[in-house]
Amino acid sequence: MTGNHAVVIGSGFAGLSAATHLAAGGYKVTLVEKNANPGGRARKFEHEGFVFDMGPSWYWMPDVFEKYFAAFGKKPSDYYDLIRLDPSYAVVFGENEVWEIPANLEEFKKMLENIEPGAGVQLDEFLQQAAYKYQVGIHDLVTKPSRSLFEFTSPSLLKDILRMDVFQSMSKHVRKFFKSEKIIRLMEFPVLFLGETAENIPALYSLMNYADIALGTWYPKKGMHEIIQAMVSLAEEKGVRIQYEAEVEEIEIDNAQATGVRLINGERIPADVVVAGADYHHVDKHLVNPNYSNYSEEYWDKRVLAPSCLLFYLGVDKKLENLNHHNLFFDEPLEPHADAIYKHPRWPEKPLFYACVPSLTDSTVAPKGKENLFLLIPLAPDLEDSEETREKYYQMIMDRLEHHSKQEIRSHVVYKRSYAHSDFKSDYHAFKGNAYGLANTLLQTAILKPSLKNKKVSNLYYTGQLTVPGPGVPPSLISGQVVANEVMKEFSKKFDKTLTQ
């Protein structure tokens, strides 16, 4: 395959994965990154000894990372050290009601049993089904390029799909096993990563509960960005050339063939194939000639997006009490018709929120005697996020955080930075300022997602959270591999055809 040059746009998980797989397959690969540092939404920044992961903070599905590095003869431990969190996380349900979720499965079953008699036995059956979905879903379905319905028509796979409750909602599925509303909220929590409410997510995604409860919650020492650093090291080892501060202005196309990319500084990089790991909508509507767009603006406006979020990165000049590494605040009831928030975007009156204190686990991410505090409020996409609004919500959730943890925090904040919709648009060209891509609803699953290949340009591909298999760090790793495999398969066909002519 020597001589084929691939240009990959974007150094997030999917872009790095695609670039590395292509390089290992014999391609000459140039990866271009808009920002000054790698990682996309998983970038990091530092301030006077505080080290902040800008995006993902949950390390789930460790087997997916192991499989990724194993494809190149490596292990995650060659690059970073993993710590299993125990408790995995804490859930705040209200005044003096905090559930610390134990890492040990038997302890977790006992906890549920004390809340709802019989729930421990029910959990066994629930997890047995979830384990089956995980094995088929993560190790088979998500690796399919989803370019044709025929990929899913084998009798055995059809049988698997029917067994995985794709036509039942997660909400109904969970209620078959549990009656306690708080246990139900706990079991529905993982689908928040998929960008929709449990009423609108297929029960297939109870596989996320298996990832949570059985496989555990982990943390890479020095932060999530260590994964990006590992992937960059591996990519460069395989020969990938990475250019930073190299924003693409246009994907050049001639006679339905991508011939290269032109950067905003005027530099042109020729290519035999282009893989776009940047925001799909941005690429589709702004980087290619409109004649070659995959989808209309009307199509994009009808997509159900996963949430955006309002983030706060805080440096605190004292040690914090009564908090865990991961803390979910479910101390307010879900707003009625929560799914309507996504269809008619508005700011919530009493938001759920998440607090992460990685410095409780890892002393390297904050100066001695201080704390690294990360706050996240999930929000509908496409909202106006003025400084006044951000500050209003900061005060709102800090009231609840201080009340719960029984300590003064605000007066000890020595560093504060907020990040929301307009920042996602500015830094990543994120469609409507989304943070997580497309929601994994039934009508946006597999072949119903935006295609990983341009329909009109034979050598232009897409990867990342707006295409298959979907949002999240592990799916993005898989997305890069799936696209790279499709590229190599297509070019092998062309090569074989040339040999026979």
Give 342: exposed, middle or buried? Use CB within 10 Å, 0-12, 13-18, 19+: buried
CB 220 within 8 A of CB 227: yes
What's the rounded Cα separation, in Å, for the pair 423 and 116? 44
**pLDDT of 193 strictly over 80:** no
Read off the DSSP letter of residue 44.
Answer: E
Which pLDDT tens digit goes with each residue over 45-62? 999 999 999 999 999 999
- Closest alpha carbon to 145 in 498, 446, 462: 446
Other Cβ atoms within 10 Å of 38 Cβ, number: 23
Which pLDDT tens digit goes with each residue over 433-473? 999 999 999 999 999 999 999 999 999 999 999 999 999 99
pLDDT at site 160 = 74
What's the rounded Cα separation, in Å, for the pair 377 and 368? 28
Lowest mean pLDDT among 86-95, 192-201, 406-415, 442-451: 192-201
220: left (phi over 0), alpha (psi -120 to 50) or beta: beta
pLDDT at site 139 = 84
- Closest alpha carbon to 131 in 100, 163, 83: 163
This prediction has a pTM of 0.96
* Percent of the residues in the chain that have a pLDDT greater than 90, as a whole number: 86
Q: Which residues of 86-122 are buried (b: 16+ CB within 10 A; e: fewer)?
A: ebbbbbbbeeeebbebbeeeeebbebbeeeeeebbeb
**pLDDT of 156 strictly over 90:** no
Which pLDDT tens digit goes with each residue over 267-312? 999 999 999 999 999 999 999 999 999 999 999 999 999 889 999 9
Read off the DSSP letter of residue 455.
Answer: S
Q: Which residues of 286-313 are buried (b: 16+ CB within 10 A; e: fewer)?
A: bbbeeebbbbeeeebeebbbbbbbbbbb
Q: Which residues of 416-431 are buried (b: 16+ CB within 10 A; e: fewer)?
A: eebbbbbbbbeebbbb
Domain ranges of the chain: 5-80+222-302+437-500, 104-215, 305-428
Element (H, E) at 280: helix 280-282
What's the rounded Cα separation, in Å, for the pair 275 and 285? 16
- Domain 104-215: which CATH number of 2.30.29, 2.60.40, 1.10.405, 3.30.70: 1.10.405
Which pLDDT tens digit goes with each residue over 61-78? 999 999 999 999 999 999
Q: Which residues of 222-231 are buried (b: 16+ CB within 10 A; e: fewer)?
A: bbbbbbbbbb
What's the rounded Cα separation, in Å, for the pair 340 and 437? 18
Which pLDDT tens digit goes with each residue over 80-139? 999 999 999 999 999 889 999 999 999 999 999 999 999 999 999 999 999 999 999 998
**pLDDT of 155 strictly over 70:** yes
Give yes or no on whether 5-80+222-302+437-500 and 104-215 have one common fold: no
Confidence of residue 498 (pLDDT cuts 50, 70, 90): very low
**pLDDT of 151 strictly over 90:** no
Q: Is 40 helix (H, G, I), strand (E, B) or coil?
A: helix
Report, in this order, helix, strand and coil percent for the chain, each rounded to 5.
45, 20, 35
Confidence of residue 154 (pLDDT cuts 50, 70, 90): confident
Which pLDDT tens digit goes with each residue over 372-405? 999 999 999 999 999 999 999 999 999 999 999 9
**pLDDT of 147 strictly over 60:** yes
Read off the DSSP letter of residue 406.
Answer: T
* 5-80+222-302+437-500 under CATH 3.40.47.10, yes or no: no
Give 382: exposed, middle or buried? Use CB within 10 Å, 0-12, 13-18, 19+: middle
pLDDT at site 491 = 79
Which pLDDT tens digit goes with each residue over 234-276? 999 999 999 999 999 999 999 999 999 999 999 999 999 999 9
DSSP character string of 281-305: HHIIIIIS-GGG-SS-HHHHHHS-B
Confidence of residue 479 (pLDDT cuts 50, 70, 90): very high
What crossing angle do the helices spanning 13-24 and 473-500 adopt, rounded to 10°? 30
Residue with tokens 């990724």: 68
Which pLDDT tens digit goes with each residue over 327-366? 999 998 876 545 545 556 899 999 999 999 999 999 999 9
What's the rounded Cα separation, in Å, for the pair 220 and 58? 10
Give me the amino acid identity at 324: N
In CATH, the number for domain 305-428 is 3.30.519
**Alpha helices (H) along 348-430:** 387-405, 421-428
Determine how β-strand 44-47 pairs with β-strand 50-53: antiparallel
pLDDT at site 268 = 98
The CA–CA distances, whole Å, from 365 to 82, 218, 223, 409, 443 equal 15, 16, 7, 18, 41
